[in-house]
Amino acid sequence: MTVFLLLYLCADATHTDCQVFPAQRWKGPDAYEQCIGTVPGLTKALTAPNRELHRFVCEVQADGAQPAEHKAQPAFIHQSFRM
């Protein structure tokens, strides 16, 4: 298994306009656990305002797959519709 640590650099706290950068990669059966263990320290190292804007995400990739150009997905927006 291959896991990528992705850094989402977002323009605002809604996380709808983000650029994604691969920050680190792990391979092996405990790769996800290694990635998850890294996230709290990296997040703590960000300044308080940047913690609201930017985030680290661990993403599992199929072995042999290269990290594609990631396009950040907008955050799910909860809406209610009335008829």
Question: What percent of the chain has pLDDT above 70?
Answer: 75
Q: Provide DSSP, 28-81.
A: STTHHHHHHHHHHHHHHHS-HHHHHH-EEEEEEE-TTPPPP--BPPPPP-----
Q: Residue 55 belongs to what domain range? A: 2-61
pTM value is 0.68
pLDDT in tens, 56-74: 999 998 765 555 544 444 4
22-42 pLDDT per residue, tens: 999 999 999 999 999 999 999
Q: Is residue 74 one of the residues assigned to a domain?
A: no
CA nearest neighbour of 20 among 4, 36, 32, 39 = 4
In a domain, 70, yes or no: no
pLDDT computed for residue 39 by the predictor: 95
Per-residue pLDDT at 3 exceeds 60: yes
- Is residue 30 assigned to a domain? yes
Domain count, the chain: 1
DSSP state of 17: S
